[in-house]
Amino acid sequence: MIKLLRVDHRLVHGQVVVSWFENVGANTILVANDAVAGDELRKSAIRLAKPENAKLVMKSVDDSIEAINSGVTDKYQMLIVVESVADAEKLIRGTQGKITSLNLGGTKPRDGTKNYSKTINLTELESELLAGLQQDGVEVYIQQIPNESKQKFEK
């Protein structure tokens, strides 16, 4: 069961992931990221940051979609972390209704981005992707840590 899908450019890091992991009752963290899937150094760094009691899986976005759709992940209580809005949108669309909400936790400022909150900076394309998800019934919200209030994403 997917407990939370989170966009965070830092992926797995410190107290933020630990607090979300515990808050949603997860037992597994799935990092769905093409670059990490093929980078042993990044995988090692992420392993160091995971909660001690967490199962950690790192797959490409396509392999993550395949695993979710096949049902092999159904036995886990998963916190899924992706690095970008594009990866989140691809994962949501590829899993055909299995993910109904999206937590925006952190996207760094880049050229051409607009600031939406203290931790969310989006390009026009990313904003359009999120608006499209909302139109299709996906809850999209900004919330850095569990004890903050949800802020509905508004384009």
Across 44-149, the runs of DSSP E, i.e. the strands, are 55-59, 78-82, 101-106, 114-115, 121-122, 139-142
CA 8 – CA 130 distance, rounded (Å): 15
Tokens read off for 20? 């979300």
Residue 101 φ/ψ, nearest 5 degrees: -145, 155
- The string of pLDDT tens digits covering residues 104-135 is 999 999 999 999 999 999 999 999 999 999 99
Domains defined along the chain, listed by start? 2-152 (3.40.35.10)
Q: Is 25 exposed, middle or buried, given 0-12, 13-18 or 19+ CB atoms closer than 10 A? A: exposed
Fill in the amino acid letter for 95.
T
Q: Name the nearest CA neighbour of 146 among 14, 21, 35, 10.
A: 21
Residue 133: the pLDDT is 98
Would you say residue 142 has pLDDT above 80? yes
- The string of pLDDT tens digits covering residues 17-75 is 789 999 999 999 999 999 999 999 999 999 999 988 999 999 999 999 999 999 999 99
Q: Is 122 exposed, middle or buried, given 0-12, 13-18 or 19+ CB atoms closer than 10 A? A: buried
Residue 151: the pLDDT is 97
Q: Look up tokens 């107290």; give the residue.
A: 15
Would you say residue 16 has pLDDT above 90? no
Tokens read off for 54? 């967490």
- Check if the beta carbon of residue 6 is closer than 8 Å to that of residue 103: yes
